Chain A
Amino acid sequence: MAVTSDYVLPCGRDVEEVWEAIDLSDEHTRSCPHCGAVRESLLVLREATAEMVREEVEPPFDLVSRVMSAVRADVRRSDVVPLPGDGLARISTRAVAAVLRYAADGVDGVRARGCRVVEAPESTGMDPVIEVELSIAITAGQVTHQAYDEVRRRVLAAASARIGVRLARLDLVVSDVLEG
């Protein structure tokens, strides 16, 4: 406790001496008002420290999920497309992909897989335009070419109704066929 060694009390002792002799109060400490006052405050400090040591700190039950969503948020914030308006609203491409995948999943026999979203070159702040590559898995025997049109229709509708951006290009990639 070198920090207190310079702190000499008016009676000649310093705070460190009082601290060392805190449990064996001698004649001087009992009678000296300075040492008494210092001893009082040191006892309060010791009590408070002991209380904090005893206290069991439980991490909040949802800590892991909170940390994970924080990490995801940081990743997603760096990859965004603009939303229509004053140019001060944006949405992460992952969020767009989630909405479009969900829309495609609604078609019978179609399972959305990957979805890549990029901002189109002609996109402006007032009228944002995106290009999407959606890979899907289809169930054999259940899906006809009409299903692709249905996927296209739903994804286009979701882009404007659920997000608010125009979809200039949608590439559908059938990446897998599932057993019916």
Chain B
Amino acid sequence: MIETVVSAPAVAAVAVHAAEQVAGVRVQPGVAGLVGSVVRAARQQIKGLQPAPVEGVRVRWSGTAAVLEVDVVISGQDQAAAVARAVQRSVRALVPELTGVAVESVLVTIVDVAW
């Protein structure tokens, strides 16, 4: 039997990518995420790698399915509710497609609107 294990940062990186596919959306890391990103970037830099951003997305597991929380800043162009739905759709579609991990839920929090 072959078992595939996808790590939480990999799922988070795909989720960040998926969320930012939506026009006018930027994923916003919190302080913990920012500190984590510095540590991770420093470690990867020694190996000469450029890590994909994972901050701003928190991943928890419910069995084998991922429970995702995404924090975003949106542009004021489109309706916030519609943008949040678009982010949910994009993450729900891309995460299983690119990682094979099932998504149980995607909680989107719009932390700011920036013109």
Contacts and interface: CB of A to CB of B under 8 A. Distances in A.
A97 B115 CA distance: 14
By size class, the interface of chain A is: 20 to 34
Interface string B96-115: 00000000011111111101
A149 B110 CA distance: 29
Contacts of B111: 72-73, 76-77, 92, 94-95
Interface residues of B, number: 27
Contact of B112 (A73, A83, A89): A73
A102 B115 CA distance: 10
A161 interface: yes
Contacts of A165: 81
B34 interface: yes
B112 A90 contact: no
Interface stretch (A7-15, A23-31, A62-70): A62-70
Contacts of B113: 95, 98-99
B86 to A, nearest CB: 10
B30 A163 contact: no
Contact of B110 (A67, A88, A95, A102): A95
A88 B106 contact: yes
A66 B108 CA distance: 20
Contact of B84 (A72, A76, A91, A161): A91
Interface string A74-89: 1011001001111011
B80 interface: yes
Contact of B34 (A67, A83, A94): A67
Given A72-B112, A90-B110, A84 B81 contact: yes
B110 A91 contact: yes
B79 A162 contact: yes
Interface string B32-47: 1110000000000000
B82 interface: yes
B34 A95 contact: no
A98 B79 CA distance: 14
B30 A89 contact: no
A72 B33 CA distance: 13
Given A67-B34, A77-B109, A88-B105, A83 B29 contact: no
A102 B76 CA distance: 10
Contacts of B81: 83-85, 89, 163-165
Contacts of B107: 88-90
5 contacts: A67-B31, A76-B111, A89-B110, A99-B80, A163-B81
Interface of B: 28-34, 71, 73, 76, 79-82, 84-85, 88, 105-113, 115
**Which 3 pairs from chain A and chain B are nearest by CB?**
A164-B81, A89-B84, A91-B110
